Amino acid sequence: MYETLEAKEKRMLAIPGDTVTLDQNTTIDGSIYLYKRNENTYSITVTALVDIELIENRKRIRVIPLKGRYIPKEGDVIVGIVIDATLSSWIIDINSPYSAILYAYDYIGKNFNPTVENIRRYLDIGDVILAKVVQFERSRGAVLTVQDKGLGKITSGSLVEIEPCKVARVIGKKKSMLNMLIEQTKCEIFVGNNGRILLKCPNLELEYIAILAIKKIENEAHTTGLTERIKDFVIEEKVKRGLIKYEIK
Amino acid sequence: MSSTPETLLIPKIKYSAILNVISKGFHVDRRSVMEYRQLNITYNVAPNADSSVLLRLGNTQILAGIKLEIGQPFPDNPDEGVLIVNAEYIPAASPVYEPGPPDEDAIELARIIDRSLRESRAIALDKLVITPGKRVWSLWVDIYVLDYDGNLIDASMLASMAALANTYIPYYEVDQTTGSIRIDRNKKIMPLPINKYVATVTINKIGEYMVIDPTGEEEAIASGSITFSVSEDNYIVGIQKRGMGTFSTDEIEKALDVALNKGKEMIELLKKLTAVTK
Amino acid sequence: MKLNKTKLVTEDGRRIDGRRPDELRPITIDIGVLKNADGSAIVEYGNTKVLAAVYGPREVVPRHEELADRAIVRCRYRMLSFSTTGERKSPAPSRREIELSKVIREALEPAILSSQFPRTAIDIFIEVINADGGTRTAGITAAAVALADAGIPMLDLVAAVAVGKLDGVLVVDLNGIEDMNGEADMPIAIMPSLGRITMLQLNGVLSPGEFKSALSLAISSINKIYELQKEALRRKYLTIEE
């Protein structure tokens, strides 16, 4: 019937309906993907990879969903697209079922006077911004800010979209994957939490290789040894296109 | 009533990025701007249809099916079979498609394909008569867009042509006394009589550049397009300019050149792929 | 096509396609067949072939249809024009398709944790590509897998099958001819790991005893289909391992 997942060495694939048993000694990473069935039994609600580790007497369960739309979280840094403007705010598409709002006073400053100036002179429909999620409620949507360093309007670069679940993999543990990609492709790469990635590359060939590498990470996100494989892939592609002469092992 | 469509919002930097690649003569997937994506055809995906085809052109997927039925001829063409082409974009095909009857784009697509087949006389409709003036075969061509990634017209034309080339007329018996007709679809008498193959080649204008077979993203920033229907014997059998962009006479002549060349190529490719099933 | 006098189940218990009464047709499940949809699947029960596609959660259009406390679930079941034997089916929605759209939505909605996504919509599109009996049950089985493929949180998968009575014998998974000529056709959908029935219909006549037997025949068949759903999901997500 349904499976009750037990601690194993490898990662397990869970289907909605599969269950895990929890007790006081269990820590859960990804509790929103669990649904309580009874006292100690919880079912997993999405197709996900599940790690169950037994460290001494403590059980640690990690649920890593394989698919799903982006739901904003406070603190997330995202790549947004301006889709509409009111007198004193912009509506931003953040690749989520929920839309986001950026207030004029946040981007322009408290001196902005909507009766005198047109907000669209500062940010227009179709502009791309880097912003941080300040607040999010499912009943109202998200509020963004561009106050932090590095945030604001993006005027050039390429945009690639991946599944939001795969963002962590493109960054890697301690940014290992992302740093490797930046080093190998010489591109500036920014990965938004909402699955949108900004690339600024020295030339079109390297940009294409970077995009291929990112798509490959997305497809193979749940496998092991990925960072090395992607590095080899990028090097191979560079050799193929005559960007470097020899394979550097 | 047709009104200005809501434009799909393309972020400005994306527009620049795509234009940049196209200015160098390539699509975003690095094939040349005058090259079609990979073509893949699966036959008989819907066995209840008299013929059915799932066609993949890159990520665009079209399902075309044919149903032959006994019907009455059109009054002004009493000695010909009847051809009806219908197209629908299923809501699954794109996040912007809504469920409902075919919209103006789907209807336009169906009519372009219909005209191309009809004007060229691609199908020998005169050979589809059962009782002259009274009973003929009705050839229903139903096109469903399952997955949108640009270039629906060319893909749908290829799918329709492939499905037609793989259609057989079922066995039928006319009862001499009652006049009723009995069809046995398990027995086939002959292949649908095809006079010639037809293909469409749509040339899109992106900025100042002309490209064929755009992806969905590229098509979203195109200002307009012109579709040429070409027949196997090198005639133009249909033209349709679409979108709010404009073309100079020069551009149209260049587009025609491309269409005649690529049309021929695609017809040859299609013939090779349909021959496999015979 | 109505048959006269032909036996639907022979003396030694074989049906017209050679199956035993409790035997399912060959079932295949392919997941992720469309690029645009958030989740998709094509399921075949013998010659019946159904495509299910899911979008969601996504913004509700028109806005006034959104619900403040949960997602709305919208479902459309439709048969393609050339999917039926015999004549072409007109594209306009028939009363049958409208009823089935509702019944299928009600079969799937209990499994969807829609309260997690207020003010959004989860859209399910079921297109019958080839019809040979059991289109709604194959459709539900496909939609459940497509929902899982889209990453939509669910209590459980949903699997469905039709049980019927032919020549007095209870059988499972009716094909087109059996559906048209049998004495009863009972489609049923269940959330398998919870054991909860989400769809139950009867077209025909059954005694109370027959009904109970039919129910248990359905449950054991659905468990088999559930295993196939799980296997298909595993196959899709674990293919690039090692």
Q: pLDDT by residue (tens digit) across A98-125?
A: 999 999 999 998 888 888 889 999 999 9
Q: Does C120 touch chain B (CB under 8 A)?
A: no
pLDDT computed for residue A25 by the predictor: 78
Over the range B216-237, which residues count as b (16 or more CB within 10 Å of their CB) and which as e?
Answer: bbbbbbbeebbbbbbbbeeeeb
Question: Which of A159, A204, A208 is nearest residue B11 as measured by Cβ atoms?
Answer: A159
Cα nearest neighbour of B70 on chain C: C87
**How crowded is the C-beta side of B139, counted as CA atoms within 13 Å?**
29
| Chain A nearest-CA residue for B11 | A126
Q: What is the pLDDT of residues A183-228, one digit of tens each?
A: 999 999 999 999 999 999 999 999 999 999 999 999 888 778 889 9
Decide if A132 contacts A75 (C-beta within 8 A).
yes
Nearest CA in chain A to C39: A67
Does residue C241 register a pLDDT over 50? Answer: no
Which one of A49, A67, A70, A230 would you mutate to disrupt binding with C, by most C Cβ within 10 Å of its Cβ? A67
Mean pLDDT value across residues A165-171: 93
Q: What is the pLDDT of residue B276?
A: 65
Under an 8 A CB cutoff, do C82 and B45 touch?
no
What is the structure's pLDDT at B165? 96
A54 is a domain residue: yes
What is the average pLDDT value for chain C, to the nearest integer?
A: 94
A46-57 tens-digit pLDDT: 999 888 888 777
Chosen domain end from A112, A131, A154: A154
**A116 CA to chain C: closest CA distance, Å?**
32
Domain for residue A72, yes or no?
no
Same domain, A88 and A61: no
Question: Given CB atoms, is A115 within the 8 Å cutoff of chain B?
Answer: no
Q: Which residue of chain C comes nearest to A68, CA vs CA?
A: C151
- Please determine, for residue C1, whether its predicted confidence score (pLDDT) is greater than 70: no
For residues A174 and A224, membership in a common domain is answered with: yes
Mean pLDDT of C161-179: 96
Inter-chain CB proximity C84 and B48 less than 8 Å: yes
**Residue closest to B55 by CA, chosen among B117, B122, B144, B131:** B144
pLDDT at residue B269 in the model: 95
pLDDT in the model for residue C242:
36
Residue A248 lies in a domain: no
Residue from the list B48, B91, B149 with its beta carbon closest to the beta carbon of C35: B149
In angstroms, rounded to a whole number, what is the distance separating the alpha carbons of residues A91 and A142?
10
C-alpha separations of A16 from A8, B207, C153 in Å: 19, 47, 7
Which pLDDT score, from 0 to 100, does residue A9 have? 56
Residues 6 or more apart from C107 whose CB is under 8 A from it?
A: C140, C158, C160, C189, C198, C199
Burial of residue B32 (number of CB atoms within 10 Å: 0-12, 13-18, 19+) = exposed
A24 vs chain B: nearest CA distance in angstroms? 44
Six-digit token pair at B32? 């040349």
Q: Any chain C CB within 8 A of the CB of A45?
A: yes
Distance from CA of B264 to the nearest CA of C (A): 30
Same domain membership, residue A37 and residue A91: no
Closest approach of chain C CAs to the CA of A13, in angstroms?
7
CA separation, residue A5 to residues A56, A80, A165, A216, C82 (Å): 19, 38, 22, 29, 44
pLDDT digits over C4-47, tens only?
567 888 888 899 999 999 999 999 999 999 999 999 999 999 99
Mean pLDDT by 10 residues, chain B (278 residues): 83 93 95 97 96 97 97 94 97 94 96 97 96 94 98 98 95 86 86 96 96 96 96 96 94 96 96 77
Asked if B11 lies within 8 A of A156 by C-beta distance, the reply is no
**Hey, is the C-beta of C76 within 8 angstroms of any chain B C-beta?**
yes
Burial class (CB in 10 A: 0-12, 13-18, 19+), C42: buried
All residues of chain C having their beta carbon less than 8 Å from the beta carbon of residue A65 are 151
- Residue A249 forms part of a structural domain: no
**Superfamily of domain B18-275 in the CATH hierarchy:** GHMP Kinase, N-terminal domain (3.30.230.70)
One domain for residues A12 and A59: yes
| Chains B & C: contacts with CB separation below 8 Å | 91
pTM listed for this prediction: 0.93
Quickly list DSSP for C33-90.
--SSSSEEEEEEETTEEEEEEEEEEEE-SSGGG--SSS-EEEEEEEE-TTSSSSSPPP
Residues 65-84 of C with CB under 8 A from A: 68
The model's pLDDT over B212-242, given as tens digits with 9 standing for 90+, comes to 999 999 999 999 999 999 999 999 999 999 9
Q: Is the pLDDT of residue A248 over 60?
A: no
Query: Please, where are the H alpha helices in chain C?
Result: 95-108, 135-149, 176-181, 208-238
List the one residue out of B277, B278, B27, B268 whose CA is nearest residue B158.
B268
Q: Does domain C27-237 have CATH number 3.30.230.70?
A: yes
Q: Dihedral of the CA atoms B245, B246, B251, B257 (nearest 10)?
A: 70
Give the confidence band of C61 by pLDDT, cuts at 50, 70, 90. Answer: confident
Burial B114-143 (b: 16+ CB within 10 A, else e): bbbbbebebbebeebbeeeeebbbbbbbbb
CATH number of the domain that residue A39 is part of: 2.40.50
The amino acid at C185: D
Helix-helix angle B249-275:B152-165, to 10 degrees = 30
Strands C39-45 and C27-31: antiparallel
Whole-angstrom distance, CA of residue A162 vs CA of residue A157: 16
Probe site for chain B from A78, A79, A81 (most B CB atoms < 10 A): A81
Contact status of B269 with chain A (Cβ, < 8 Å): no
Which chain C residues touch A98 with a CB distance below 8 Å? Answer: 59, 119-120
Residue C96, number of CB atoms within 10 A of its CB = 11
- CB contact A66 to C (< 8 Å): yes
Are B210 and B220 a contacting pair, CB within 8 Å?
A: no
Q: Which of residues 90-109 of C touch A (CB under 8 A)?
A: none
Q: Residues 6 or more apart from B173 whose CB is under 8 A from it? A: B181, B182, B184
Residue C102's pLDDT is what?
97
Chains A, B: CB contacts within 8 A come to: 32
Cα–Cα distance list, B221 to B94, B134, C106 (Å): 17, 50, 41
List the single residue in A128, A154, A208 with the smallest CB-CB distance to B30.
A208
Determine contact: C84 vs chain B, CB below 8 A: yes
Give the nearest partner residue to B10 out of A126, A157, A158, using CB atoms: A126
Q: Which chains touch A (3 or more CB pairs under 8 A)?
A: B, C
pLDDT at position B236 is 96
Task: Please say if the pLDDT value at position A1 is more than 80.
Answer: no
Given CB atoms, is C81 within the 8 Å cutoff of chain B?
yes
The domain that holds A195 is classified in CATH as: 3.30.1370.10
Q: Which of A34, A43, A45 to mutate to test the interface with C (most CBs of C within 10 A)?
A: A45
pLDDT at A12 over 60: yes
Indicate if the pLDDT at residue C190 is higher than 90: yes
- Among C33, C36, C98, C122, the residue to mutate for chain B (most B Cβ within 10 A): C36
Domain ranges of chain C: 27-237
> What span, in angstroms and rounded, lies between the C-alpha atoms of B159 and B144?
10
Which stretch of A5-9, A106-110, B89-93, C136-140 has the lowest confidence by average pLDDT? A5-9
Structure tokens at A44: 């997993």
Which residues of C are less than 8 Å from B88 in CB distance?
91
Structural domain span for residue A213: 158-240
Contact residues on chain A for B17, CB-CB shorter than 8 A: 157-159
The DSSP secondary structure of chain B, one letter per residue, reads: ---PPPPPP--HHHHHHHHHHHHTTB-TTSSBTT----EEEEE-SSTTSSEEEEEEETTEEEEEEEEEEEEPPPTT-TTS-EEEEEEEE-GGG-TT--SSS--HHHHHHHHHHHHHHHHTT-B-GGGGEEETTTEEEEEEEEEEEEE-SS-HHHHHHHHHHHHHHT-EEEEEEE-TTT--EEEEEEEEEEE--BS--EEEEEEEEETTEEEES--HHHHHH--EEEEEEEETTS-EEEEEEEES----HHHHHHHHHHHHHHHHHHHHHHHHHHHTT-
In a domain, A115, yes or no: yes
Chain B CB contacts of A127 below 8 Å: 11-12
User: Are the CB atoms for C149 and C39 separated by under 8 Å?
Assistant: yes
Residue C240 has pLDDT above 50, yes or no: no
- Look at residue A70 and tell me if it is in a domain: no
What do you get for the CA distance between the two ends of chain B, in Å? 45
Q: Is C170 in CB contact (< 8 Å) with chain A?
A: no
Query: Looking at residue B182, what is its pLDDT?
Result: 87
pLDDT band at A3 (very low <50, low <70, confident <90, very high): low
Domain of A102: which CATH number? 2.40.50.140
In 3D space, the residue among C113, C123, C115 whose CA is nearest the CA of residue C146 turns out to be C123
